[in-house]
Structure 1
Amino acid sequence: MADHLEVAQLYVDGKFVDGRAPAFAVEDPATAEEFAHCPAASPDQFDEAVAAARRSFDAGVWASVPVPERVKVLAAMADELDGMRDDLLRTVVRETGTPVRIAGLMQVDMALEQARQLPALLATLPEWEHNELPLEAHIAGPTGRDVLTSVRRYEPCGVVAAITPYNFPLQPAVWKVFAALAAGCSVILRPSPLTPLSVLAFGVAADRAGLPPGVLAVVPEPGAEGAELLTSDPRVDCVSFTGSTAVGRRIAAQAAPTVKRLVLELGGKSVQLYLPDAVRNVAAGVGTVFASHAGQACSAQSRVLVPADALDAAVEQACAVARAMPVGDPQDPATVVGPLISAAQHDRVTGLVDDAVRAGARLAAGGRRPAHLPRGHYLEPTVLVVDDNANPIAQQEAFGPVVSIHGYRDLDEAVAIANDSQYGLSGGVYSADVRAGLDVARRIRSGTVLVNRPSANAYTPMGGIKQSGIGRERGVAGLREYQEIQHLVLGPLDSAG
């Protein structure tokens, strides 16, 4: 049995084709060894993918298909992905380093479930709605007896470039591809070069499900040349990107000359804010960060805020869970914390930890390579104690198994610390008094604030404010991102003018 999905070709204009650029290596972050090669699209193949998407959209081969029929095709595509579930799981574990005990749920099963839910949700939405005009605005003409009808119609926004991240290769791909396809768009999917293999399954599923030619392309590449073509090409109407804020800024600049629609889900530096009655739960919250793909999650609540008089107890809890977390081989069912994605990411995270200590943070646990793991990109779960929110670890996204703990005097200061960030993607407030937690959550400037527990599924929107992004993924709001609003006014001819 192969230990990963083996798809040797790109998917462009309804056909499997050889990549015309050299295939590139994919590394197993647990061993730092190459384990597979991925076919690569050349710049001219990106151009061909865009041309096919533009042609398919303008011809209406998919956009004009009634929503119920589109949903049936997408359900068949989801069935095909579900049939590859075991291969997808093995592939994701190898290419991301997510421990197998976690990858089944977080990486694969949630994605497969949402591939069904998103199109089904779109099918429940109205394709047109009356505008909310006052009664007198519906009356027109010299006699005042002619009736105008003013409606807004939702239509697909056009050709969508979907650019997905390395940390969760399947979930964001599902959010973008299945939402945009359900809306009637044509899509070019460009996966992260670090984790491209599992995403190749989308071409296989689309082909088997009978998606019309040109409606979906899957075009991996080792660099960024093709992605830059997608973000600047005037034939592309929308760019949907998940990744760092730095890259998001570049994409926005590249898309600006053609004024593309943008959906950008970018960086985060989320808080987990504990009210005094909930400090006993710090260990569980910190453990969740470490267990969430070694902290490589944009919504990881890596800033822990606790009452100042409970700081020592909170640090003790965090250190205990950091030292108890099994770190090791992702293939081992006992492992909870796997490796970082690459040597470069390992160096970046450890460099940030060093910068934090130089700026006055106290290293309370971790910060080093585990002694029993001489190869692979591993880092011990790390706890830093800070007393200044200007410290680099309190301001910069680590994207690793690192938390900082900061004491606050009162809730006003806690909210001020939480909001003192360029980011606003997610966060959490914890309290035995749910109403008190809600009161604090409403004061935090963030796209999502969880009170005591998470809730992330196809029906809930995901997205940020400030430099955490533009637009939303998932939910009704995420589906509408791939639609334009057309205003239609209907009235009798003799009332015109």
Structure 2
Amino acid sequence: MADKINVAGVPVDTRHWIGGQRVASAETFIDSSPIDGQPIGEVARGGPAEAQAAVAAARDAFPSWAATPRAERARLLHAIADGVEKRIEELAIVETTDNGALLRSHRRGVMPRVAHNFRFFADWLLKLDHEDFETRGHRNHVSWDPAGPCVLITPWNAPLMLATWKVAPALAAGNTVILKPAEWSPLTASLLADIAAEAGLPAGVLNVVQGYGAEIGDALTSHPDVRRISFTGSVPTAKRIAASAAANLTPLSLELGGKSPLLVFADADLELAVDLAVEQYDNAGQVCLAGTRLLVEESVAEEFTRRFVAKAGALRQGDPRDEATDIGPNIHPRQLEKIDGFVRRAIADGARAVIGGHRRDGQFYAPTLLTDVAQDSEVVQEEVFGPVLTLQTFADEDEAVRLANDTRFGLAATLATGDPERAERVTAGLVAGTVWVNCFFVRDLQAPFGGSRLSGVGREGGTWSFDFYCDLKNTVTAPKGFKDHG
């Protein structure tokens, strides 16, 4: 295979990045674009040998990187952010080609956020501290020690942004990293390796290996030298990773998606509520935080539905490189089949498609709203991860909260109400890692992020990220006992 491919004029190396060098594999896999289904190129397909090499490189680089002063680690992370900002256009077009998300979103929001991820954790590192405290005259001092090599396994729906949400704090903490991107969208991770090397990151501190989870992922997550594993993806895969990590008691951080509710009360600003609901089609519904279960108070359900249908009907679906496009394709034919299967089974069980409910040409699925769905039905209980919403009604606040919490998940929830006291009562009763009131997708890296129930294990963001990526140490010092060195 060719070492590099041309993606819309951007050269991308398709080999692994291990120990500061490009490494080929005997096997490859085809990476295709969801825009037209055409192959982009062949990508190195790693297995146990590449996993072993990457962990060895990370292990060997760890002592020096862990000993690097905080200020120097922070400087290098800012240098990586500078490199990202210089290549925003290239990163945006490569990622749009690779995963089908909107080019305008990548340019204006996603890639700038990638740079911000590095800058935020670089700055947070420099102020990371815990005030000393006393116990019977003894001084307690809390410190965050680097843990060791970290395996970071990232998803395909926002490849580079979600990868750097993990990579940046892991590196800031003084750890070395083995990044394994999703096989459906591996290309911007390769560009990140180039950017990090150009920024001066030492060899072996960041390694990028590509391939299938069953072939390379298992070898990474079961390795005894790996000290942290962070994964974003599905519950079944997370269970396999947890089982693999159990032999070494390797700590895990798992973000596993959800089935989030969007509650609309009769006292809400209905136009705002409709806008929030239509926003759930963002990224063709491939957003883990999406409020896919619309729960609307009975007295306004008819008017809400009328306005929703009108607004959703105005969305433009098509080529994500077109500035006028609102919804692009779904990532892969297999994912499209999964989405369509959910909808077909729901309709067979009595659901009604108010809008959508069918495929379009290529890898596009029409924005869909299903009503007449039972609370225990598959489409209400399981994550579809496509442009499919359900609408149910409730009579009062208690029923709203009960329906909202009645799934196995608990990642997020969105609430539309004009009553601040109701907002406090309802949010207190919701099982969710993040709750938005009269807004959606407002995220600050200072805040804890993660899910309850099957939506995940642990929290990251701000100091919570360093708590995960470090071994916390408390040093207790007696007031006496030191020799006088004066």
1:95 Cα offset (Å): 0.8
Matched letter for residue 31 of structure 2 = V
Shift, 1:259, TM fit: 0.7
Which of 62, 69, 73 lines up with 2:76 in the alignment? 73
1:493 Cα shift? 6.9
Judged with a 3 Å threshold, the aligned counterparts in structure 2 of structure 1 residues 457 and 104 are, in CA distance, closer, same or farther, namely farther
Aligned ranges 1:276-425 → 2 under 5 Å: 276-278=266-268, 279-290=270-281, 292-370=282-360, 374=361, 376-425=362-411
Map of 2:3 onto structure 1: none
Q: For residue 63 of structure 1, what is the aligned residue in structure 2? A: 66
- 1:237 paired with 2:240, answer no
CA distance in structure 1 between the partners assigned to 2:460 and 2:11 by the alignment: 27
Q: Percent identity?
A: 34
Query: Take 1:188 and 1:129, find their aligned partners in 2: how far apart are those partners?
Result: 33
| CA displacement at 1:452 relative to structure 2 | 1.1
How far off its partner does 1:354 sit?
A: 1.6
Shift of 1:307: 0.6
In structure 2, what is the equivalent of residue 143 of structure 1? none
Equivalence map 1:62-141=2 (5 Å): 62-126=65-129, 129-131=131-133, 137-138=135-136
Deviation track 1:409-464 (CA, whole Å, cap 9, x = no partner) reads: 10000000011111110111111233422321121010000111232132222210
CA contact (8 A) 1:428 1:441 kept: no
Query: 1:80, 1:205 within 8 Å by CA — same for their partners in 2?
Result: yes
Give the superposition deviation at 1:106. Answer: 4.1
Structure 1 residue aligned with 2:465, among 478, 483, 489? 478
Letter of the structure 1 residue corresponding to residue 473 of structure 2:
Q
1:66 Cα deviation after fit: 1.3
2:412 aligns to what?
A: 426
CA contact (8 A) 1:154 1:484 kept: yes
**Structure 2 equivalent of residue 272 of structure 1:** 262
Q: Normalising by structure 1, what TM-score? A: 0.91
Q: In the alignment, is residue 448 of structure 1 matched against residue 451 of structure 2?
A: no
State the match for 1:164 in structure 2. 154
Quote the offset at 1:39 in angstroms.
2.8
Q: Does 1:212 align with 2:197?
A: no
Give the drift of 1:384: 0.4
Q: Tell me the alpha carbon deviations over residues 194-248 of structure 1, each in whole angstroms, 9 at most, x when there is no partner.
A: 0000111221122112212221101111453111111111110110001111211
Which deviates more from structure 2 when the two are superposed, residues 192-201 or residues 478-487? Answer: 478-487
- RMSD over equivalenced CA pairs, Å: 1.8
Secondary structure at the counterpart of residue 217 of structure 2: helix
Q: Structure 2 unaligned segments of length 5 or more: list them.
A: 1-5
Matched, 1:488 2:475: yes
Which residue identity lines up with residue 478 of structure 1 in the other structure?
A: S
- The question of whether the paired residues in 2 share the 8 Å contact of 1:10 and 1:220 is answered with yes
Distance 1:330 1:100 in 2: 6
In structure 2, the residue corresponding to 1:479 is in which secondary structure?
Answer: helix
The residue that corresponds to 1:141 in the other structure is: none
State the number of aligned residues: 474
Give the 3-state SS of the residue equivalent to 1:194 in structure 2: coil
- Letter of the 1:448 partner, please give it: T
Taking a change above 3 Å as real, the CA distance of residues 478 and 359 of structure 1, as seen in their structure-2 partners, is farther
Secondary structure, aligned partner of 2:91: helix
Q: 2:115 & 2:94 partners in 1: Cα distance?
A: 15
Question: Structure 1 444/490 Cα, relative in aligned 2: closer, same or farther at 3 Å?
Answer: same
Which position in structure 2 is the counterpart of 1:144? none
Give the letter aligned to residue 279 of structure 2: T
Q: Which residue of 2 aligns with 1:142?
A: none
Q: Of residues 47, 51, 56 in structure 2, which corresponds to 1:46?
A: 51
CA distance in 1, matches of 2:346, 2:14: 44
Contact 1:160 1:188 in 2 (8 A): yes
Decide which moves more: 298-307 or 455-464.
Answer: 455-464
Normalising by structure 2, we get a TM-score of: 0.93
Shift in CA distance, 387/192, structure 1 to aligned 2, threshold 3 Å: closer
Shift of 1:33: 1.2
Aligned partner of 1:380: which letter? Answer: A
2:424 aligns with 438
1:12 pairs with 2:15: no
SS at match of 1:450: strand
Deviation at 1:156, TM superposition (A): 1.4
TM-superposed deviation, 1:280? 3.6
Q: Aligned equivalents of 1:113 and 1:487: distance in 2?
A: 31
Q: Which amino acid aligns with 2:277?
A: V
Alpha-carbon distance in structure 1 between the residues aligned to 2:247 and 2:234: 21
